[in-house]
Amino acid sequence: MLTFFGALLLLIVGYAVYSKFVERVFVVNDETPTPAYTKRDNLDYVPMSWWKGNLIQLLNIAGLGPIYGAVAGALYGPVAFIWIVIGTIFAGGVHDYFSGMLSMRHGGAQYPSLVGRYLGNTVKSFINLLSLVLMMLVAAAFTAGPAQLISQITPVSFTVALVLIFGYFLLATVLPVNRIIGKIYPLLGGILLFMAVAIGVALLFTDKQIPNLTIENLHPGELPIWPLLMVTISCGAISGFHCTQSPIIACTMKKETDGRKIFYGAMVIEGVIALIWAAAGMTFFNGTGGLQEALAAGGPSGVVNEISTSLLGTLGGILAILGVIILPITTGDTALRSSRMILTDLVSKFYKMDKKYKVLFVTIPVALPTFYLATIDYTFLWRYVGWTNQVVASVMLWTGTMYLLKNGKFHWICGVPAMFMTGVVCTYIFYAPEGLSLNYHLSLVIGFSLAFIVLLWYVGQIVKYRKIHRKEAELHAA
């Protein structure tokens, strides 16, 4: 139990201390007008209060991610607590802050546009495709999952449920951000947080002890911690999906100092939620062996339902239904909205048309394939979300690194986690079943070799920009 409470305390201290350090490195200025005012269109660019932005951002980035991912990650034992803390403070919080603040600084630019600006058009083209694929996979999986559950507990068929959910998705995608998202999502974000806190408090009053991290239980399973844990627990540590969502809220910020509370704050709250559910997963079933059996029998939704109803009774059942049905839907619709905004950026260079027609024009190409993907086996889709998600996260961290390098700022806050995540994805792609399924040790050799090449590139960029800044300083002195 000490490990759990220590991890919780570190998350709080991390927000109080490290987020302020990150903000000082970035340098904020409340005198600079934000895109919510300079580009206000009452569709995507609408000023909203920071607390609404925080809760909407939390719901956008979280959904069931920090619940399902944390429960699955609990199979690795208490080491999951350590990853959640380190990932949230030094990687996820930084990733989310820079993705939101850079978008805000560049007029509400979407993630691929930021990548193109700081990493070049070649990487931008790759990321445009990868981001759209990721958004459609997430939207499809988060349509099919709730639709399947609705068909199991009500007379409504899977097809009808799918159509109804997708109809809502289209409305949330094309309507102004303050119509549905701005009014309902802060409430649902509060429910997500309340659900986790209620589970955490109830867990403390059971006769079960949350396990501590020791040498004996450091690695209770057979699967290797590196790189699988870092992909299994993404929401709740670091997730590339977040940088596709941050521009939605970046377009609604009233002032720059709100960014730390919105972006870094939402990531830390998500880390707390993941921490609680990881603790519940490894405690409620009397260890990782019992959790593995429960996951095999009922999957993540069955585990969440059993924990919720057992610890919280009727309230737990209601929360479980809200969580397993409503929360993924609210993530799926913003995934589709992000796709629409990314595609809008692309077509705006080639087609000039009225805003309302453009919204419909770009929604159709992402909506149709997403709906088709939702009709096939969504568990198959979910296997490919993990590694594409963390590739996107790595590229966003490198984008932040290059921004800091070009501006002569402390680039290590982005560069170190970027190198770490590069090592993770390079190894994972070669080792994982949805990758190349190579031998683990061979995957390590190839993965670290590729990461070393990226490190050499990084060192080269450091040397390059040091020379540039030195020359600029000499010219300024002269």
pLDDT in tens, 68-105: 889 989 999 899 999 999 999 999 999 999 999 999 99
Averaging pLDDT over each range in 200-204, 313-317, 328-332, which range is the top one?
200-204
Give residue 458's pLDDT.
97
Give residue 269's pLDDT.
95
Instruction: Tell me the pLDDT of the chain averaged across its residues.
Output: 86
Q: What is the CATH number of domain 2-385?
A: 1.20.1740.10
Greatest pairwise CA separation for the chain in angstroms: 79
Buried b (16+ CB within 10 A) or exposed e, 51-67: ebbbbbbbbbbbbbbbb
Q: What whole-number distance in Å separates Cα of residue 409 and Cα of residue 393? A: 21
Model-level pTM? Answer: 0.90
Cα–Cα distances in angstroms (integers) from residue 388 to residues 83, 171, 223, 447, in the given order: 20, 27, 20, 16
Among 213-222, 384-393, 452-461, name the one with the lowest average pLDDT: 213-222
| pLDDT at position 43 over 60 | yes
pLDDT tens string 164-178: 888 887 777 777 777
Q: What whole-number distance in Å separates Cα of residue 121 and Cα of residue 113? A: 9
- Reported as a pLDDT band with limits 50, 70 and 90, residue 351 is low
| pLDDT at position 355 over 60 | no
Give residue 68's pLDDT.
83
What sections of 251-377 are H helices per DSSP?
258-259, 265-284, 288-321, 327-347, 355-374
| pLDDT at position 184 over 90 | no
pLDDT tens string 190-215: 877 888 888 888 888 888 888 887 77
Q: Where are the domains of the chain?
A: 2-385
Give residue 358's pLDDT.
56
| Across 259-283, average pLDDT | 95
Give residue 186's pLDDT.
83
Structure-block tokens of residue 469:
């800044």
